[in-house]
Structure 1
Amino acid sequence: MDFFAAGSRPSLKANAEYFTGTVWQDVIVEAPAPARVRALRVAFEPGARTAWHTHPLGQTLHVLSGTGLFGLRGAAPRVIRAGDSIWIPPGEEHWHGAGPTTGMVHLAIQEAADGKSADWLEHVSDADYERAPE
């Protein structure tokens, strides 16, 4: 068993190669093999967002606080709010982040295939981010 007391692991600033704006990540679990689960608490400042990406085994997002946006390739973004949950199937190109003027925090849960839990693509353009939500 591994026990991690609250505050014993530092928050990590998300890699600018995969995120736009200021994003903080707190690891909840990175289970050792043969388990594959990884869960993160991700806090997006207003305007911050992920790059386009996919997950080999899918991803679940659960919004903990704030209001944000979730986008699929070729579609207008959707507004997401505290309490919303989203299942993203394997291989589906998507992005998620805060709204333009509001922060958003979500729990991101995914599994790794061959040690990899995401395939990162290009940054989300301002035009895609600013597209009127559904």
Structure 2
Amino acid sequence: MDKNPTNATVKTPASNFTGDVWMTPVFAGDGDSLLTCALVRFTPGARTNWHSHANGQLLVCTDGVGLVGTRDGKTVMLRAGESVWTPAGEEHFHGGTAENMMCHYAILDTAGAGEATSWLEPVTDEQYTTAHRAAGM
């Protein structure tokens, strides 16, 4: 068993996120495992760009209320204790709602992935508003 140190929280790059988003790395593999995990905090209105993951991604909400949306228009509201799995290659975004912060663990398996995350263009304000309506907000 290895205890991991607490890592510094960093502001995420504006090239991949809209609004204020903070990330604390939790685990980045140990040579045998290529599992990565980060705690990500979104302020109201903040969100990722569209993106996908070579091996999929598990999001586990720890606090607040958020949205996860896909290119085909499916959107789910995510609350503390709930999780969402985005399969390999599915283009999606996630973040806080317009009025709520959201915090989640982002968990990835990067084995054989090359680039584990493929970052795309920002989610427009219109797409974000549409996602709220699709989630019943």
Residues of 1 paired with 2:89 and 2:24: CA distance? 24
User: 2:127 corresponds to which residue?
Assistant: 128
Q: Quick check: 1:13–1:22 contact (8 Å CA) kept in 2?
A: yes
Residues of 2 paired with 1:74 and 1:89: CA distance? 14
Q: Structure 1: which 5+ runs fail to align? A: none
TM-score, normalised by the number of residues in structure 2: 0.89
For 1:48, give the aligned amino acid. Answer: A
1:76 Cα deviation after fit: 4.6
| Identity percentage of aligned residues | 38
Q: Structure 2: which 5+ runs fail to align? A: none
Residues of 2 paired with 1:99 and 1:125: CA distance? 14
Q: Kindly tell me: are residues 4 and 32 of structure 1, through their superposed partners in 2, closer, same or farther at Cα, counting changes over 3 Å?
A: closer
Indicate the RMSD between aligned Cα atoms, in angstroms.
1.5
Aligned residues, how many?
132
1:55 Cα deviation after fit: 0.3
User: 2:3 corresponds to which residue?
Assistant: 3
1:117 Cα deviation after fit: 1.8
1:33 Cα deviation after fit: 3.2
Residues of 1 paired with 2:2 and 2:20: CA distance? 30
For 1:86, give the aligned amino acid. Answer: V
